[in-house]
Structure 1
Amino acid sequence: MTTTSKLHVLPVWRRLHVRAALFATPLLLVLGAIMVLLLQHYSAQNALEASQRMNLGLAQYVADHQEPGLLDAGGQPVRSQVEEISMHVMKINPAVEVYFLDSQGMVQAHALEGLEGRNPVGTLVDLRPVRQLLEPGAGTVTRFPLLGSDPIQPEQKNTFSVARLTSSAGKSEGYLYIVLNGRKVQAESASLANSRSLQAMALAAAAVSALAAMVLWMAWRHLTRPLRQLADDLCAFRGADGAQGEASQGDEISVLRVSVRDMQNRIAQQFQQLEDSDRQRRELVSNISHDLRTPLSNIRGYVETVMLRGCVLDTESRANHLRTALRHVDLMGKRVGDLFELSKLDAGRVTPQSEVFCLAELLQDVVQNYRLAAQQRGVTVQLSTGNHAKARVLADIAMIERVLQNLIDNALRHTAAGGSVSLAIENQGDFMEISVSDTGAGIRSEHLPHIFERYWRAADVEDHAASTSSGLGLAIVKRILDLHGSAVQVHSELMRGTSFHFALRRAA
């Protein structure tokens, strides 16, 4: 199979690199969004830190440059002074908001204009950040931005600058508390939330994420190419065998996993087949040695008898000895011929030469050839063609004749005197079925799966039947019918007989 024909063995959407890219793309987009949010957050934090560091001394500067009398004798801020400070500070820097706190952190006064909602006067400000900024402990480092309470929005924190206020007597009376990130700045920041710069940042993050996904996809595609090619080869091989199964639902890893599992099973089967083949080879050598040694011993015995006692044997006895030796020679020749024929069939060196012939005529010829031998055994051989006397089939006539001969030989060996062997033809649509049945001893059910194995004999077979059989006849029958695409079937009952069936294709 060429590479082009294998490219689409595994669907594209099941490829490992495609699945990885589809998984990584949304993940990268989410990471990009998180990075944008983190960048926005830390940018705001940096802006707050920079603003607080730049304005850290603002409250102290304002407090130092005011005329005396900011606080009255009761420690309360003078309204005119408060308004003047707020006017100067908040006009110069509209981002800040100025508050006056008492020593407990409660807002006493402010100069906020256009205030809507609750009045921050009376709001308690947390003094812990204030003390941390004014009186840092020894060996401690103040981390900025340092957030304190926002009197306008107590639930939120904000950057601030603070200075201690003292009365004319030098007594601490409160704090000048300046919120650096006031309402106007927050309103402007909210209006900039959908600005073009932020939109451009989000688009840039999305583009970078998509580009990163594309780069990763290309890298994965390049790195997984050998794996993909191997999976394509395995998937194509499994598809040719018609066994894609579970692997067809996964990616290259699934193909490899299923293929390795199948390979393990196949290797185990092959090891078992090798063990069976080795066992059969040993049995074959043993059986061949036995089958050839027995007739050779008999031939040697009769020939030696004629040679040693030829002068004392009469003519009839000498002729009987020689006929017996000749019979054993014929038997040995038949066994050697069967073995040679089976070896050629197993090696695939025999090809059927199909031709059209009359099936009934072939069966009639075979039956006629066996009538005399059957009569000598006291067995009847008969043929039943029914209405199919002119049925014609397409097959190798010599091979089919060999099948019939082996089946009749087998039937005659296992049928006692007084029994019968029957051949019949039946129409099975596009096929003609041939059956060879006998009324012999039958075959046990546990022996049926083994009767087509070479040299197999049941332990309960009669010695006479075993001695006249090469043990290869049924094995040859099965090999020949396999070459014709036909399966041989056997049905048997003890003491009632055995029937072999096979079918041949009708001639057009």
Structure 2
Amino acid sequence: MSLTLSQRLSVVFALLLLVCCGTSVWLQVRSSRMHELEVVQGLSRDLARHIARDTQLMDANGLKPDAVRELFSQLMLVNPSVEVYLLDKEGRIVGDAAPKDHLLRDRVDLAPLRRLFADEPLPILGDDPRSATARKVFSAAPLMVAGQPAGFLYVVLLGEAHDRLAERGATSEALNTALWAIALIALLCLVAGLTAFRLITRPLRHLTESVAAFDIDGVPAPAPTAPPSRAEPVAKDGSQDEIAVLDGAFRQMQGRLNEQWRSLTRQDQERRELVANISHDLRTPLASLHGYLEVLSMKDASLTAEERRRYLGIALDQSRKVGGLAQSLLELVRLEHGFVEPVLERFFLTDLVQDVFQKFELTAEARSISLTPLFAPSVPGVFADLGLIERVLTNLLDNALRHTPVGGDVRVALALQGRYVDVTVSDSGPGIAPQLRESVFLRPFNIGGARRDGGLGLRICHRILQLHGLKIELLDIEGQGATFQFALPVEEALAVDLLKS
């Protein structure tokens, strides 16, 4: 069975709590035990020395049995937990009052006695003669006979009687109280820990739900908040909690993904419409071209020379339209897919505008349209890609001439505005409907329900200026036709910064 993160954390916390409680109990019991032994040994440290000083237990002939029995009887009456032993110089037990078969050692290690005589920190544990392995606190003193060491008086301070009483108390109310106290503390800690884990992981659960419900169309549940404007993701409440920061980072990423997905969807829709519009534009001239060529092929013998020239002229005109559309489409593809990189150079817009006017001079004269330059005094040079900016002006003038009525006017104005030169191209045509102005640079558009040519050229202009870090705008000027404006920098450093951005 798979466990959630909260459940795994809870299980690990419960195990750690159990281990910690067990360790705490062991340390507490051991600490209390060592403290008790230290107190007992500290209080009775000099007991053996006082007994050895006040009682003559050995003489030149050795042990005095009557004195030993009398001493043992008196001590047992005063303190039943005390056990007294006489040791020789090697630590062998030579006198005791232990019941039969209770003595399990015949000698005592003298190293703890020396540590006691050297005043080392208490408690100091020594061998228990009535146990093969146990060690207990003791008091000891050397025995002297005729000024010479004859052995030791060895007093076990917590003997068998104390052990029996302690064993009965081990299952008494004191132990039960301690166990209940430990269980209660463990339960409270467990509840507090599980509550803390739930509070800590709640943002993570919300984040998980958001990830699980994330929809590529940008409809998450619950709806994400707007991404923070700062580069560093932060929690909604401004805290630095890692999980909350993670949640903020996810929401910021989610907002960017949604925006990018909407942009991609919009671009895909625009490309679909562009393909459909280009197909429509190509179908008409191709059909016309095919029709006139077919007429020439089938009725060649019956056509007069004048009719043959007229049909060929129409076919050539339609062929040029198809070629122009194909060239524009190829140019747009190269611009939008990064195959074109602007090369900055300094040039004068006044010269460039005059050159572009010369291209359209014959076309304008044929329709009695005047090309009017409106140049401010002392227009400085600008920094941009000369060839690409020439393409922009060519497309704008071509678009203006095709939609300006006979006898109309097309104007190009240049004016210095701060660090830029404003370029304005306007015509006296019907203009562009308000509902179509937002998408005028994105796809071909219609005017009055009829298709307006030139949308592809405007999109090329928009993309070229985008590559320069600039933009083109359609101005709304009452009494005029379509008016387009863009600005070019007069400083090289500014142009480089725009290009990098």
Check 1:273–1:478 CA distance in 2 against 1; reply closer, same or farther (3 A cut): same
CA contact (8 A) 1:432 1:504 kept: yes
1:217-228 matches, within 5 Å, as none
The Cα shift of 1:329 comes to: 0.6
Check 1:500–1:249 CA distance in 2 against 1; reply closer, same or farther (3 A cut): farther
Structure 2 match to 1:438? 427
Alpha-carbon distance in 2 for matches of 1:381, 1:144: 111
CA contact (8 A) 1:435 1:502 kept: yes
CA contact (8 A) 2:292 2:315 kept: yes
Amino acid at match of 2:323: G
Structure 2 match to 1:254? 244
Of residues 477, 492, 497, the one that matches 2:461 is 477
Check 1:322–1:441 CA distance in 2 against 1; reply closer, same or farther (3 A cut): same
Given the alignment of the two structures, is residue 346 of structure 1 paired with residue 336 of structure 2, yes or no?
yes
The Cα shift of 1:296 comes to: 1.0
Structure 2 match to 1:426? 415
Alpha-carbon distance in 1 for matches of 2:275, 2:174: 97
Of residues 319, 329, 332, the one that matches 2:322 is 332
CA displacement, residues 79-135 of structure 1 (integer Å, 9 cap, x when unaligned) = xxxxxxxxxxxxx9xxxxxxxxxxxxxxxxxxxxxxxxxxxxxxxxxxxxxxxxxxx
Check 1:270–1:431 CA distance in 2 against 1; reply closer, same or farther (3 A cut): closer
Given the alignment of the two structures, is residue 295 of structure 1 paired with residue 285 of structure 2, yes or no?
yes
CA contact (8 A) 1:443 1:492 kept: no
1:54-453 matches, within 5 Å, as 243-244=231-232, 246-247=234-235, 249-388=239-378, 391-453=380-442
The Cα shift of 1:339 comes to: 0.2
The Cα shift of 1:429 comes to: 2.2
The Cα shift of 1:446 comes to: 2.6
Q: Number of aligned pairs?
A: 292
Amino acid at match of 2:413: A
Amino acid at match of 1:293: R
SS in 1 for 2:234: helix
Check 1:318–1:494 CA distance in 2 against 1; reply closer, same or farther (3 A cut): farther
Amino acid at match of 2:448: D
CA contact (8 A) 2:376 2:416 kept: no
CA displacement, residues 126-147 of structure 1 (integer Å, 9 cap, x when unaligned) = xxxxxxxxxxxxxxx99679xx
Check 1:253–1:358 CA distance in 2 against 1; reply closer, same or farther (3 A cut): same
Unaligned 5+ runs, structure 2: 1-19, 37-77, 79-170, 176-226, 493-501
CA displacement, residues 186-214 of structure 1 (integer Å, 9 cap, x when unaligned) = xxxxxxxxxxxxxxxxxxxxxxxxxxxxx
Alpha-carbon distance in 2 for matches of 1:446, 1:417: 26
CA displacement, residues 53-84 of structure 1 (integer Å, 9 cap, x when unaligned) = xxxxxxxxxxxxxxxxxxxxxxxxxxxxxxxx
Given the alignment of the two structures, is residue 457 of structure 1 paired with residue 441 of structure 2, yes or no?
no
TM-score, normalised by the number of residues in structure 1: 0.50
CA displacement, residues 160-218 of structure 1 (integer Å, 9 cap, x when unaligned) = xxxxxxxxxxxxxxxxxxxxxxxxxxxxxxxxxxxxxxxxxxxxxxxxxxxxxxxxxxx
Amino acid at match of 2:430: A
Check 1:503–1:493 CA distance in 2 against 1; reply closer, same or farther (3 A cut): closer
Check 1:472–1:249 CA distance in 2 against 1; reply closer, same or farther (3 A cut): farther
Alpha-carbon distance in 1 for matches of 2:440, 2:421: 24
The Cα shift of 1:470 comes to: 5.0
The Cα shift of 1:245 comes to: 5.4
TM-score, normalised by the number of residues in structure 2: 0.51
CA displacement, residues 255-301 of structure 1 (integer Å, 9 cap, x when unaligned) = 31112112222333333334333323332332232222211111111
Check 1:259–1:428 CA distance in 2 against 1; reply closer, same or farther (3 A cut): same
Alpha-carbon distance in 2 for matches of 1:445, 1:320: 40
CA contact (8 A) 1:442 1:495 kept: no
Amino acid at match of 2:391: R
CA contact (8 A) 2:233 2:252 kept: no
SS in 1 for 2:405: coil
CA contact (8 A) 2:344 2:383 kept: yes
Alpha-carbon distance in 2 for matches of 1:356, 1:271: 39
Check 1:246–1:422 CA distance in 2 against 1; reply closer, same or farther (3 A cut): same
Alpha-carbon distance in 1 for matches of 2:291, 2:278: 20
User: Which protein has greater RCO, CA pairs closer than 8 Å, 6+ apart?
Assistant: 1
CA contact (8 A) 2:270 2:442 kept: no
Amino acid at match of 1:256: L
Alpha-carbon distance in 2 for matches of 1:494, 1:427: 23
Amino acid at match of 1:500: F
The Cα shift of 1:459 comes to: 5.0
CA contact (8 A) 2:368 2:407 kept: yes
SS in 2 for 1:450: coil
Structure 1 match to 2:87? none
The Cα shift of 1:427 comes to: 0.7
Alpha-carbon distance in 1 for matches of 2:476, 2:401: 15
Amino acid at match of 1:502: F
Alpha-carbon distance in 1 for matches of 2:256, 2:332: 27
